[in-house]
Amino acid sequence: MTPHEAVVRRAMSWVATGVILLNLPLSALRSAAYPGAYVPGFAAGVLALLALLTAWSLAACARGRSADVPLGGIVAISCLALAAHAWTIGPQPVAYPPLLHVLGGGMVISAMIGVRLSLVIIPLFAAGVAVIRAPDLGGGAAALEATLLAVSGLVGAACVNLFQRASRTVNRTVEATWLLAEDSARAARRASERERWDGLVHDKVLGALRIAGRSGAGAVPTAARDLAGQALAAFRGDWDHADSSAAQWRRHAGQLGLRATIDVDGEIPDRDVRDAVVAAVEELLSNVSRHSGQDQVSITGRLGESGQIVVADSGRGFAPGRTPPGTGLATSVIARMRSVGGRAEIRSAPGRGTRVALRWAPASVTPASEEPEWQLRTFAPMMALGAVVLVINVVRGYGQWSAVATPSVSVLVIAAIVAVTGTATFLRPTASNWRPLVATVAVCVLVPALATPDGAPLDWRYWYLGALTPAIAAIAYRFRPGVGVATDLGAWLAVTAVDTIAGRPFWASLAGTVTVLVATSIGASFMRRGMDDAWRRANDAAREATRIRMAIADEAERERIAATRVAALDAAVGPELRSIAEGGTLSAEHARDLLVLESAVRDHLAAPGLLDGDLVSALAAARARGVVVDVVAREPAAGSGGDGAGDGAAGFADGDSAGDADGAAAAEPYRAALATLLPAAPPGTRVRVTWDPRGSAGRGTVSAVGEDVGIALARVIDRLRERPDLDVSHDEDALLVMLSPVLATPAGRTSPES
């Protein structure tokens, strides 16, 4: 038995012991009140044995040990004592033998010694009660009373069975929940690593190639050598982090010729977060140097597991709403912060400078919900039997509620009881929605209590309390602790007060109905506590196991992606980066080659999944002829989902995915369009390729702008229009190619952008 199964079993033992504890004093009091009900010594002997076994069970529960043996003894004595009733009736028998209260409790808990055995004990016990009660009630009434007793026993058996099954499924449920969280965390790690490497490519690789290429013939600039060295160090996995974040920013600002005011406290302990924040701030400093038109910048904030850094300048500024973020800002700042669970907030206006705030907080991996989804599934089947209890109480109490001055009021009370029972069973619990349920229960108690005639017989006088038992059980189990028990006690106090005012014995309701109510509400509360405790134990164990698995898998995922990316990057740009890092002198031709390579790397970074070898060659040839080609990435729309599955066709992909089917289907028409357009574009034409790096179908465009471009490309336009999967529009000076709306989404779905 697992620890959380033991917790549930212990809770059930407490409930079973409580059922006997509530009924034992009642049977003892009634036995003392009717000493002639049994032959001398019989009632006292049975009660003494049951008291000893109940004390044993209490001690076992209190010590956290199994109470199966004493509870089994209680069930056995209850069955034997009932079977001996015919031979133990005393000289002064009573209509309802005093021991039936506690013996019935023993029958109710019989499932504790075995659910299957209880299905034999319960009907036999109920039949015995019917035989005992038939002389006083008549056959029909005795059978109905015995049926109610049997249903009570079946409810107990159902409780034991369902809670045992639920306790066995707790571990599987929790494990499945955490496996989903683990899968989500793995996907997040893959996306994080992709964005981290994309940022490295943009900041270090492109920076080194661009600075060296633009320097022309002569010595390699120091800035290019530094960036190339940092990129190669990252490839080897030994990037030096000895300097503080502030020191790195101060050095980077100095290399850019900026005068930086740095007021930063603390340091970031997490390596990934620190790398992301440091690189994001360095990219912001580069943007200040390139675009602000001034050389002063401030860096302020606090570093730690969570924190904020603000980079501000008073330069030209821009309009964020009208100017989409460039590749550097999107890749090296926004995407980088997102990869570690942070965010970047940009505030700027033309002529008013720019302020960028970077914020982050510790990431935690938790399931989507820690609420036990099986709570309702566990309780609803028991309420089916509870509905039978409700019906029997209403039917058996017909003589009472139909005899009131206004029977229609009783009918309304019955309807309200049915409604509150169903609502308590299926209503989603919140911090306050139990209040109307309790108020309804109060009305359902007070109205029939006040309507009870003065001379009403005791038999089934409190039918409404019995009918409310399922509703109060649902409130006790499903809503905040203590509400069910308080509702139960409030109902009893209300009935007692009304009986006292009406001159009826105040203790009358204790004869059976209230005892059942109290046992039900306390038992439901105990079981809820036990199930919640079992859930927490299993959840804690699964959380720790998941943490260990994820720590191992996280490092493995990092190493796998790094190995794949490094291999691809080293093959594409490694030789040139090593040449730049070593210094020396560049020829004019070598510098031009570096700029061509920088454009190719930038294209790959902006449009993974789109470029292949032929298209890379076509882009290089077009640029060599004087065609200006811009390949830019479009950020996916919010909520579009995806984790970068379209990275697969890029030269620097992580090898995790080769582009999903939709992305691959969308890329082919664009490749065909570019392969047709680029060789024919006249010099000076500006071609812009916009591509969604997530590979979502229908999320790219190809445009060409230039003087008389529509005329020069007339044949190309005709060829493009022959493709049913492309939409082509043009005028004299512009051409636009898009994926056909019919084919923009798979399976006939309509793209929002169509």
DSSP β-bridge partners for residue 59: none
- Convert the pLDDT of each residue in 336-388 to its tens digit: 788 777 889 989 888 889 999 999 887 654 544 444 444 555 566 667 767 87
How far apart CA 437 and CA 416 sit, in angstroms, is 10
Kind and range of the H or E element at 727?
strand 726-730
Beta carbons within 10 angstroms of residue 269's beta carbon: 11
- Convert the pLDDT of each residue in 714-730 to its tens digit: 777 788 788 777 788 87
Mean pLDDT of 177-193: 62
| Domains along the chain with CATH numbers | 1-137 (no CATH), 607-754 (3.30.565)
Q: Is the pLDDT of residue 743 over 60?
A: no
Axis crossing angle, helix 463-478 with helix 434-451, rounded to the nearest 10 = 170
Q: Which of 202-216, 258-272, 338-352 has the lowest mean pLDDT?
A: 202-216
| Start-to-end C-alpha separation, the chain | 59
How far apart CA 468 and CA 658 sit, in angstroms, is 62
13 and 66 Cβ atoms separated by less than 8 Å: yes
Calculate the alpha carbon distances from 190 to 187, 269, 365, 645 in Å: 5, 21, 15, 10
Phi, psi of 243, rounded to the nearest 5 degrees: -75, 150
Kind and range of the H or E element at 310?
strand 307-313
Residues 6+ apart with CB under 8 A from 251: 243
Closest CA to 189 of 640, 559, 609: 559
Mean pLDDT of 688-708: 70
423 and 475 Cβ atoms separated by less than 8 Å: no
- H helices of 114-138, in order, are 115-137
- Convert the pLDDT of each residue in 302-349 to its tens digit: 998 889 999 999 998 888 766 555 555 766 688 778 877 788 998 988
Q: Is the pLDDT of residue 188 over 80?
A: no
Beta carbons within 10 angstroms of residue 634's beta carbon: 18
Q: For the residues of 211-252, what is the DSSP string, one character each?
A: HHHHT-SEEPPHHHHHHHHHHHHHHHT-----S-HHHHHHHH
- Convert the pLDDT of each residue in 446-494 to its tens digit: 998 888 887 777 666 788 888 888 888 888 888 887 888 888 888 888 8
Beta carbons within 10 angstroms of residue 245's beta carbon: 21
How far apart CA 207 and CA 199 sit, in angstroms, is 11
How far apart CA 574 and CA 236 sit, in angstroms, is 11
* Cα–chain center distance at 212: 49
Phi-psi region of 719 (alpha: psi -120 to 50; beta: other; left: phi over 0): alpha
173 and 373 Cβ atoms separated by less than 8 Å: yes
Determine the Cα angle at 230 with ends 228 and 234, to 5°: 115
SS3 call for 280: helix
pTM for this entry:
0.44
How far apart CA 612 and CA 369 sit, in angstroms, is 43
Q: What is the pLDDT of residue 297?
A: 93
Residue written as tokens 């056959």?
Answer: 139
DSSP β-bridge partners for residue 310: 300, 357
Axis crossing angle, helix 222-236 with helix 513-581, rounded to the nearest 10 = 130
Percent of the chain whose pLDDT exceeds 70: 75
* Cα–chain center distance at 30: 54
Find the length of the chain. 754
Residue written as tokens 């809770």?
Answer: 11
- Convert the pLDDT of each residue in 385-431 to its tens digit: 678 778 878 887 888 888 888 889 989 999 999 999 889 888 888 77
DSSP β-bridge partners for residue 308: 302, 359
What's the whole-number average pLDDT of the chain?
77
Residue 650 structure tokens:
């890029």
Mean pLDDT of 533-540: 68
How far apart CA 57 and CA 61 sit, in angstroms, is 6
Q: What is the pLDDT of residue 177?
A: 61
Q: Is the pLDDT of residue 694 over 60?
A: no
209 and 598 Cβ atoms separated by less than 8 Å: yes
How far apart CA 307 and CA 266 sit, in angstroms, is 9
Look up residue 461 and give its DSSP letter.
T
pLDDT band at 75, cuts 50/70/90?
Answer: very high
Percent of the chain whose pLDDT exceeds 90: 13
141 or 373, greater pLDDT: 141
Kind and range of the H or E element at 260?
strand 259-265
Mean pLDDT of 517-540: 72
- Convert the pLDDT of each residue in 586-610 to its tens digit: 888 888 888 888 887 777 777 766 7
Calculate the alpha carbon distances from 432 to 113, 435, 479, 509 in Å: 39, 6, 9, 30
Look up residue 737 and give its DSSP letter.
E
Q: What is the pLDDT of residue 331?
A: 62
Closest CA to 699 of 609, 630, 612, 615: 609
Residue 494 structure tokens:
């209300």
Residues 6+ apart with CB under 8 A from 199: 276, 279, 280, 283, 331, 332, 335, 336, 339
> Per 3-state DSSP, what percentage of the chain is helix, strand, and coil (rounded to 5)?
65, 10, 25
- Convert the pLDDT of each residue in 24-65 to its tens digit: 988 898 899 888 889 999 999 999 999 999 999 999 988 888
Question: What count of Cα atoms within 13 Å lies in the side-chain half-sphere of residue 262?
Answer: 21
Mean pLDDT of 197-218: 79
pLDDT band at 655, cuts 50/70/90?
Answer: very low
Largest CA distance in the chain: 124
Calculate the alpha carbon distances from 565 to 327, 527, 616 in Å: 20, 54, 19
pLDDT band at 543, cuts 50/70/90?
Answer: low
Phi, psi of 39, rounded to the nearest 5 degrees: -65, 150
Given CA atoms 253, 254, 256, 259 in this order, what sign does their dihedral have?
Answer: positive
Q: What is the pLDDT of residue 460?
A: 67
Kind and range of the H or E element at 631?
strand 628-633
Calculate the alpha carbon distances from 435 to 420, 441, 442, 479, 628 in Å: 12, 10, 11, 10, 70
Q: Is the pLDDT of residue 231 over 60?
A: yes
Q: Which of 19-28, 143-152, 503-512, 741-750 has the lowest mean pLDDT?
A: 741-750
SS3 call for 304: coil
Mean pLDDT of 165-178: 61
